[in-house]
Amino acid sequence: MDKKASGTIAVYDLGGGTFDVSVVTIEDGVFEVKATAGDTHLGGEDFDSRLVDHCIEEFKRKFRKDISTNERAKRRLRTACERAKRTLSTTVTAAIEIESLFEGVDYSTIITRAKFEELNAADFARTIEHVRDVLVEAGTDRLDVDEVVLVGGSTRIPKIQELLSTFFDKEPNKTVNPDEAVAYGATVQAAIIAKIDMTGGLDHVLLVDVTPLSLGVALIGDLMSVIIKRNSTIPSKHTQTYYTTSDDQTSATIKVYEGEREMVKDNTLLGSFEVVGIPPLPARKAAIEVTFAVEATGFLVVSAKVTATGATRAVAIRAEKGRLNTEEIERMRSDAER
């Protein structure tokens, strides 16, 4: 991919437990993430679960026995279903055969690829909805995407590839190993950050990432004022001017939040600091400039400057401190949408 002079790539990453899709532009070795979206509760394990539920219902119908409360039987069934799912990526039928599955009863059935696709049709469709969303956020038309790259073992499912081919009107690029892509990319990025010489001409590669959630401060009434919007390019720096809310106010507390909700109580508090030395003026006359700077290292530096006096206070918030994991980020996004 980095050998191409320029282009727009959609990275469709469907693994065992999570789903992510990103729009990335490449120009002269610079990889710029335009937007990213996904679902942390969607992946190969969910497809296994649909198959397990189907088999439990079939077992109940055939033998009038319910195995849903027997953990050992369910575990054996899940293992067999996962194996069948993998088989269905290369053949149109797969056999599930388990000796003495429950109360001495043997279980065997044939699962067709069509049945597997029918059971998971809604989940497959959900991934395409996320693809649509990320294209809108990136300001990119589906026909402007030059390559569709598949990452994660679940992208071997033929129906997934078919849906993507239909949506983008082109075949996905299968030259990237879906199981190794994440580890390979992480290694390249680590080497770039550590300034390690790499073989294969990858020393010219640069990744430009985006912020996963909006960043801002609390206003009167506990409203969230966004300073850096979600999906802003990293590094990113923005300044907003705020005014005192009462007469003769000489100090102000700056509370830094991360999230997509209108009220700060629904977002995550990253840190706070006090600004002093504000000249005693009537309400809404004294100005404070608040600057957010997200650095390439993952630091968020927040500074506040009293315009009249030039007095400045700042705080640096590490990415690891108070930040959210992928699942929490996706939960906040879905909560905000609801």
CA distance 95 to 111: 6
Please tell me whether residues 231 and 298 are part of one structural domain: yes
116 vs 173, higher pLDDT: 116
Q: What is the pLDDT of residue 306?
A: 92
- Please say whether the beta carbons of 252 and 275 come within 8 A: yes
Q: What is the pLDDT of residue 202?
A: 61
Please tell me whether residues 190 and 96 are part of one structural domain: yes
Counted residue by residue, the chain has a size of: 338
Please state, rounded to an integer, the average pLDDT across all residues of the chain. 88
Q: Given CA atoms 8, 335, 327, 295 in this order, what sign does their dihedral have?
A: positive
Question: Could you identify the residue written with the tokens 């949506």?
Answer: 167
Buried b (16+ CB within 10 A) or exposed e, 61-72: eeeeeebeeeee
Please tell me whether residues 232 and 258 are part of one structural domain: yes
CA distance 78 to 96: 10
In a 3-state reduction of DSSP, which class is residue 68?
coil
Q: What is the pLDDT of residue 12?
A: 95
Average pLDDT over residues 257-281: 90
Question: Could you identify the residue written with the tokens 């400057």?
Answer: 305
Please tell me whether residues 82 and 166 are part of one structural domain: yes
Please tell me whether residues 285 and 306 are part of one structural domain: yes
Residue 14 banded pLDDT, cuts 50, 70, 90: very high
Tell which of 208, 233, 250 closes a domain: 208
Residues paired with 288 in a beta bridge: 242, 306
Please tell me whether residues 1 and 147 are part of one structural domain: yes
Question: Which of the residue ranges 71-75, 202-206, 287-291 would you say has the lowest mean pLDDT?
Answer: 202-206
Residues of the chain with pLDDT > 70, as a percent, come to: 92
Please tell me whether residues 230 and 132 are part of one structural domain: no
Looking at the structure of the chain, the number of domains it has is 2
Please tell me whether residues 220 and 93 are part of one structural domain: no
The strand ranges marked E within 142-286 are 147-151, 206-208, 215-218, 224-228, 236-243, 251-258, 268-276
195 vs 32, higher pLDDT: 32
Tell which of 151, 177, 208 closes a domain: 208
Residue 45 in tokens = 């394990």
Average pLDDT over residues 32-43: 85
Residue 201 banded pLDDT, cuts 50, 70, 90: low
Nearest to 100 by CA among 89, 109, 108, 92: 108
The structure's pTM equals 0.69
If you compute the radius of gyration of the chain from its CA atoms, what whole number of angstroms results? Answer: 26
Residue 327 banded pLDDT, cuts 50, 70, 90: low
Please tell me whether residues 48 and 18 are part of one structural domain: yes
Please tell me whether residues 187 and 237 are part of one structural domain: no
Tell which of 185, 208, 231 closes a domain: 208
- Please say whether the beta carbons of 231 and 32 come within 8 A: no
Residues 277-321: tens digit of each pLDDT:
899 999 889 999 999 999 876 789 999 999 988 888 888 886 544
CA distance 306 to 151: 48
Whether the pLDDT of residue 274 is over 70: the answer is yes
Q: What is the pLDDT of residue 193?
A: 73
Q: What is the pLDDT of residue 320?
A: 46
- Please say whether the beta carbons of 49 and 75 come within 8 A: no
Whether the pLDDT of residue 332 is over 70: the answer is yes
CA distance 173 to 309: 58
Please tell me whether residues 83 and 189 are part of one structural domain: yes
Please tell me whether residues 148 and 7 are part of one structural domain: yes
Nearest to 24 by CA among 50, 2, 44: 2
Whether the pLDDT of residue 118 is over 50: the answer is yes
Residues 136-171: tens digit of each pLDDT:
988 999 999 999 999 999 999 999 999 999 999 999
193 vs 241, higher pLDDT: 241
Average pLDDT over residues 31-45: 86
Whether the pLDDT of residue 335 is over 80: the answer is no
185 vs 218, higher pLDDT: 218
Question: 301: domain CATH number?
Answer: 2.60.34.10
Amino acid at 248: D
Domain that holds residue 130: 1-208
Question: 161: domain CATH number?
Answer: 3.90.640.10
Pairing relationship of beta strands 224-228 and 215-218 according to DSSP bridges? antiparallel
Residue 285 in tokens = 């006359």
Strand (E) or helix (H) holding 318? none
CA distance 280 to 247: 7
Residue 128 banded pLDDT, cuts 50, 70, 90: very high
Q: What is the pLDDT of residue 2?
A: 61
* Number of helical H runs and strand E runs in the chain: 7, 15
- Please say whether the beta carbons of 254 and 290 come within 8 A: yes
